[in-house]
Amino acid sequence: MTDIVLETDLFKPVALTTAVNAFKPAESLVYSDLFAPRLHTADSETLLFDVLTGSEGILPNIRNHAPATVNDKTGRRAITMTAPRVAEKRQILTADLLRVRSYGSIATMMMMDRINYELRDMTNDVFRTLEYWSCGALRGKILDVDGTTTLIDFNVPDTHNLTLTSTDKWSDADSDPIGNLESWKQTVQEDTAGVINEWRCYCGFRVMNALLKNPSVQDKFKYTAGTQMAVSGDIPQLAGVTMLRHGGSFLDSNKVRRHYIDPDEIILVGLGNDTVDCMAAPIVDEDAQQGIGNIIVDTEGKFQPQVFYAKSWKEEDPSARWIKIEARVLPILRRPTSVLHAKVQ
């Protein structure tokens, strides 16, 4: 009887939700580095946030499932949109659970392992989606998994989307990556109306390889960071910019492998207190912890956002149990002029 009670408890929303929120992010360099530390919970599924831009125009009223856009407008503009929703569910047949139960005293532990495996795998799918959206936000436009449908366009200026050609490419011996970074930093600094506290550059893997072979970069570091570069295979800083290699990839809706950061691109970010944001909308589900809206209260009585919500339910024929996870998180680029995207190869 004890095992049956424990087995039932495993499928309660509170147990499943606690489990999925304890998992560490998979392949989420940009999301974990920039957006996750700024995660906070919205009061409703309609997100309201400011975009600080120096251009003109604002979007019309946004309806659910319609792509959101931020048009040109000087100063601070309040944007509203329905929070995106990602969810996945998987079926565990009762026959499978019966086979596990036949192992007697260790059955509950085996069942927990099976549930955790499915939950972790689905959680990784969501984290990959958040990483894809986070990289898209830094480019100025978040696309759906098909790579064409626009979820939100932050309107990064065209002058912040560059392509190097000929001998300017960083793989060319005569190129000047340090000079490029200094020039681009100046562009971002002049176009951004906010204070920049630090600089970060997310690089495709071929970009970092080209930098390591570039004569001007090698000459700069051969007497200082040469040993560290040889050990790590990366350049930690260049021109006052923290350089971060991103070689992660995913499969799109057509099962084609794509990289979060194109192997030949960089995204330069002038990071201030209000450059980026991250909002989590409440989950609309009657079984959600603390009622409709996935908000929990910690031991100090403070509201805390949870990225994931999870639940389970039974199906009669064929006899089975479903497990679902859901997240409603939006990475936000609040200052579109604080980023610069360049194809450098």
For 291-320, the pLDDT digits (tens) are 444 555 555 656 566 778 888 888 877 777
- Enclosing H/E stretch for 47: strand 46-56
- The SS3 assignment for 279 reads strand
Q: Give mean pLDDT, residues 229-238.
A: 74
Report all structural domains of the chain as residue ranges with CATH numbers, in order of start.
Answer: 2-153+277-331 (3.15.30), 158-275+336-343 (3.30.1930.10)
338 φ/ψ angles, rounded to the nearest 5 degrees: -90, 0
The interaxial angle of helices 13-22 and 2-10, nearest 10 deg, is 60
| CA 6/CA 8 separation, integer angstroms | 5
How far apart CA 224 and CA 235 sit, in angstroms, is 12
Alpha helices in 156-239 (DSSP H): 177-191, 205-213, 215-221, 226-232
Tokens at residue 238, please?
């260049």
Rounded to two decimals, what is the model's pTM?
0.83
Query: By C-alpha distance, which of 114, 93, 97, 91 is closest to 4?
Result: 97
Q: Is the peptide bond before 263 cis (omega within 30 degrees of 0)?
A: no
Rg (CA), the chain: 23
63: number of CA atoms within 13 Å, CB side?
A: 1
Q: How far apart are the first and last CA of the chain?
A: 65
Higher model confidence: residue 94 or residue 167?
167
pLDDT at 234 over 90: no
Band (pLDDT 50/70/90 cuts) for residue 194 is: confident
Maximum pairwise Cα distance, the chain: 75
pLDDT digits (tens, 9 = 90+) for 195-223: 899 999 999 999 999 999 999 998 887 76
- DSSP class per residue in 9-39: HHTSHHHHHHHHHHSPPSS-HHIIIIIGGGE
- In DSSP terms, 258 is beta-bridged to 250
